[in-house]
Structure 1
Amino acid sequence: MRLLFLAVLRPHTGNAVTAQRVRAHLEAAGHVCVLKDAFDFESPSEIANLILAENFEAALALHLYRGGRLLQGHRIPFGVIFGGTDVNEDANQRDKNTVMGRVLEEARFAVAFTESMKEMAHAQWPHAKGKIYVQSQGIATTPNAAFNWNTFLQRSEINQSADNLHIFLLICGLRQVKDPLYLVDAFSEWHQEEPNVYLVIVGPEVDPVFTREVKAKVKRSPGVRLIGEMPQEDLHAVVKNCFVVVNSSVSEGMSAAILEAMDLEVPVLARNIPGNAAVVKHEVTGLLFSNPQVLVLSAKRQNDRIAYSCLGA
């Protein structure tokens, strides 16, 4: 089958990574899957021309609003995959909610990464009940065996001689929905009490205006470091060497960073939001926190035992 796959392909975002993985699986199953950036199209009419020119037999969209709305009104069957912000954020805007409801009316099926996301979608669009299925994401980790951890610490201006160095790693694109500044003050204060503690934020500069705000805040925050985007294999090596992976997002569909940390057997501390709570079972597979003070207090109390607690040992 010849498939059109629409997704937002902004580099290094979760949706872009997920789209590439879905395409790979579809092609491995013998289909031709043409992946297109939804942001390259403004209306369904442009997609109609593309469908005709490329002779597509069916279509798939990742993100109910950004991709799904472009597939309305065509004769070919299509399905949608919820991206996270569509259900968690866009559904709260009346105009977008209406559009997404119409997309679900026309879609043959919809896929949610978690049961909680499915339930939220059912609450917003009751007419879609019966066509929403849950399929969790799959991940693969490939740490660079040649990665030099000490060189990374040196480049990050982290004191390698500190006893019992604790690197808390936050992986995210610099945009507001990831809320990377949420933990900065708490970790900076903790670092000044215990110089072996660092918060390292790693990720691409997605939102230029917000990036400037993050850089300014980090610059005046002792113990907090900001690192630009890295090749995936190097990033996985950093994850494998860090003390804990943290997630501070306001909204998540299913965090690939959390899944990859778990795959590498690295402890996880995640903000208590539905997307994270669907993945992290508190005090079994990780710790959920409701504010920065709770996170730091919990980590201080457990100290080295935090790694064992997060891994369910």
Structure 2
Amino acid sequence: MRLLLLACLRAQTGNATTAARIRNHLHAAGHVCVLKDAFMYESPTEIANLTSTDKFDAALAIHLYKGGRLLQGGRIPFGIIFGGTDVNEDIKCEEKRRVMGAVLGEARFAVAFTMKMKELAAAEWVDPLFTSEVKEKVKRAPGVHLLQEMPQDDLHAAMKRCFAVVNSSISEGMSAAILEAMDLDVPVLARNIPGNAAIVKHKETGLLFSNPQEFVVLSKSLMNDPIMEREIVTRAKDYVKKHHSWEGERKAYQNLLLRLQ
């Protein structure tokens, strides 16, 4: 099967690595999967012309609004993969919410990375400004350094040299950085938001904090308790192997493709 995969492909982002991983799963099953950046297209007509000219059999899109809207009304069947922006941000806009509902109505299947994401989507149906704000705050924070994006291998090497990985996001779908840290035997401290709490169990597979003061207390406890650190790392590694293995994910996507035939 020749497949089109639409995603936001800005280099070294979670979306780009997720899309590449899914493409590899599909290639392993014998399919041809072509990645295209959703930001390069403006309307379903452009995608319809692309799928017709290049003779695609089916399509996948990451994010209902950013990618899925471009597949509406097309000649080929498609599946959709939820992104955190869908249920955390885009859903707040009436027009985007309407479009996302229409996309779900046409999709053969929808994939949610966590139960919380699935529940939010089910209950509701059946950006640059934020980046600039973060950069300005980092400039005023002593001891905090902002690094540019880097290749995944370099990032993993840097992570393994760290005492812990911190996720301070105020909005997450499923954090690939957290799962990668768990797999690399690095302790995780994450803000206690639904997306993070869905994959981090407090004091078992990581530590969850709700405010700066709690973060400081938990960080010190982790630094001063090597036994707790080892236990958290071990349980986190086991959790990733059991619930987020690439083998299981590959099989799931390969099975979902059968619905597009």
The TM-score with structure 2 as length reference comes to 0.83
**Which residue of the partner structure matches residue 68 of structure 1?**
68
1:46 is matched with 46
Tell me which structure has the larger Cα radius of gyration: 1
Is 1:285–1:311's contact at 8 Å kept on the other side of the alignment? yes
| Residue type at the aligned position of 1:282 | H
Gaps of 5+ in 2: 236-261
What are the equivalent positions in structure 2 for 1:84-95 lying under 5 Å apart? 84-95=84-95
* TM-superposed deviation, 1:222: 2.7
State the alpha-carbon separation in 2 of the partners of residues 107 and 125 from structure 1: 13
Q: CA RMSD in A?
A: 2.0
Q: Does 1:231 align with 2:231?
A: no
Query: How many percent of aligned residue pairs carry the same amino acid?
Result: 67
Tell whether the 8 Å contact from 2:12 to 2:151 is kept in structure 1 after alignment: no
Deviation at residue 296 of structure 1 after TM alignment: 0.7
Structure 1 unaligned spans of 5+ = 127-172, 177-206
Distance 1:116 1:31 in 2: 31
CA contact (8 A) 2:12 2:152 kept: no
8 Å CA contact 1:267–1:311 kept in 2: the answer is: yes
Question: Are 1:56 and 2:63 matched, yes or no?
Answer: no
Q: CA deviation at 1:13?
A: 1.3
Matched, 1:33 2:37: no
**More helix as a share of residues:** 2
Task: Specify which structure has the bigger relative contact order, considering alpha-carbon pairs within 8 angstroms and separated by 6 or more residues.
Answer: 2
By how many angstroms is 1:215 displaced?
4.9
How far apart, in 1, do the equivalents of 2:5 and 2:93 lie?
Answer: 25
When residues 300 and 33 of structure 1 are mapped into structure 2, their CA distance, relative to the original with a 3 A threshold, is: same
CA distance in 1, matches of 2:153, 2:128: 20
Corresponding position of 2:219: 299
> Is the deviation greater in 107-116 or in 220-229?
220-229
CA distance in 2, matches of 1:274, 1:214: 21
Deviation digits for residues 97-156 of structure 1 (CA, Å, limit 9, x no counterpart): 110000001100000111111111100112xxxxxxxxxxxxxxxxxxxxxxxxxxxxxx
Which is richer in strand?
Answer: 1
Q: Please tell me whether the aligned partners of residues 283 and 310 of structure 1 are also in contact (alpha carbons under 8 angstroms).
A: yes
Helix, strand or coil at the partner of 1:311: helix
- Give the corresponding residue for 1:283: 203
How many residues align? The count is 233
- TM-score normalised per structure 1: 0.70
Residue 311 of structure 1 is matched in structure 2 by 233
Q: Give the alignment of 1:8-157 within 5 angstroms.
A: 8-126=8-126
Q: SS in structure 2 opposite 1:36?
A: strand
CA distance in 1 between counterparts of 2:23 and 2:37 reads 13
Larger displacement relative to structure 2 (231-240 or 52-61): 231-240
